[in-house]
Structure 1
Amino acid sequence: MNPDQLIEFLGILEKLKCNTRHNWSTSGRQESVAEHSWRLAVLAMLMEEDFPELDMNKVIRMCLIHDWGEALTGDIPAFLKTEADEKTEAGAIESLLEKLPVSLASGYLAMFKELSDLTSEEAILVKALDKTETLIQHNEAGSETWLPLEYELNLTYGDEVCRHFEKTQQLRDKVREHTLKIMEEEVRGHREK
């Protein structure tokens, strides 16, 4: 990849630093798509020993690229995303990858297809960790940042895909415990007022 192409492509991906997600940080600002992708990759890296049978280098790479389309489309929260939104994001990914040399683009396109279709254990793990990292961030930000529908959603989001692996199920269960504790503390706080 020549320097001009590399700089141009990084310039597009820079939007991931600017595009915010529905989630809030503990400092009281919305997190960026880039921050989410980075922490998702760190989560996968920290769980590497739990998945010796998987290609964790591939998992981490998938974590880093999984939201590239949002550089062009912005983020749409999962509870609002439609099939049309999914198609728009897939088109954005294709458009983005056209800017890369064919040798790189074909490999990334294959990864995106694998992620979209959940055709590998690695892709399923990325999906489970993606949902879990989102919930961890919700919990860290606190219930004052939650929409009313998120009280139920925070208890059920990602359950199905997290059941695929024992370790992701354990992590999901622990995150749910934290969610319930936050809800209990909120109720206790309302009673004390």
Structure 2
Amino acid sequence: MKNLANFFFEVGMLKRTPRTGFQFLGSGAESVAEHIFRTAIIGYTLARLDDEADVGRVLELCLFHDVPEARTGDLNYVNKKYVKADEAKAVEDLARTLPFGDHYRSALQEFAAAGSREALIAHDADQLEMILALKEYKDLGNRYADEWYPFAVRRLKTEPAQRLAETIWATDSSRWWFDDDAEWWVKGRKDQL
């Protein structure tokens, strides 16, 4: 039980581990945990759109894909030109302590290899999460988001993810909650309409 408690504390570190690429974008901030959460929701959705994908496996890959960053930190594309994190060691050191360590190790190896249908979907979910963040920052006025978008799109492997990226980029990120019921926005209560 002690190893599991330590694992949960380690995963909690991801709430305080920043995604570092946004410093180059010039705006925005998110933790690795926030990124993982939305990536898992996106992965679940993409897997449900695919009749042959194992939804549970996609979720597992999405949930674990950045857990090693609790030990290595998040290295953005600039950092990766100069710094090499020993992710394999980080994975192995944690896997040795977990009763499901073999499953954890296997998930990270499958994600890294990107050879299975589920791994491709998980990778696409990871990129779509970044595309969503870029769109949110673009809608708030960050002009550099347009420059980053084409590179993220080129990383997408599945056709549904590519179509979804186009839709995301054409959708106003702040309008999902705003409907056509103008009186609601004036009075705020349905019983007063």
The TM-score, its normalising length taken from structure 2, stands at 0.75
Query: Per-residue deviation at 1:77?
Result: 1.7
Query: Per-residue deviation at 1:73?
Result: 1.2
Question: 2:127 matched to which residue of 1?
Answer: 131
Find 1:19's aligned residue among 4, 17, 21: 17
User: What is the CA deviation profile of residues 108-151 of structure 1, one whole-angstrom value per residue up to 9, with x for unaligned ones?
Assistant: 11111111111201001111110111110122133768585x54
Q: Which is greater in Rg?
A: 2
Alignment partner of 1:152 is 2:147:
yes
Equivalent residue runs for 1:1-193 within 5 Å: 3-22=1-20, 30-82=29-81, 85=84, 87-101=85-99, 104-142=100-138, 148=144, 151-160=146-155, 162=156, 164-177=157-170
8 Å CA contact 1:159–1:172 kept in 2: the answer is no
Could you tell me how far apart the structure 2 residues matched to 1:97 and 1:176 are?
Answer: 38
Structure 1's consecutive aligned runs of 4 or more residues displaced over 6 angstroms after TM superposition are none
**Which 10-residue stretch deviates more, 90-99 or 113-122?**
90-99
8 Å CA contact 1:155–1:176 kept in 2: the answer is no
8 Å CA contact 1:19–1:75 kept in 2: the answer is yes
**Structure 1 unaligned blocks of 5 or more:** 180-193
Check 1:83–1:21 CA distance in 2 against 1; reply closer, same or farther (3 A cut): same
SS class of match (2:75): coil
Could you tell me how far apart the structure 2 residues matched to 1:79 and 1:176 are?
Answer: 24
Task: Provide the identity percentage.
Answer: 27
User: How many pairs align?
Assistant: 168
**Structure 2 unaligned blocks of 5 or more:** 173-193
Aligned-residue CA RMSD (Å)? 2.6
Query: Per-residue deviation at 1:153?
Result: 2.2
User: What is the CA deviation profile of residues 43-87 of structure 1, one whole-angstrom value per residue up to 9, with x for unaligned ones?
Assistant: 1223343112100110011100000110011111235324852x5
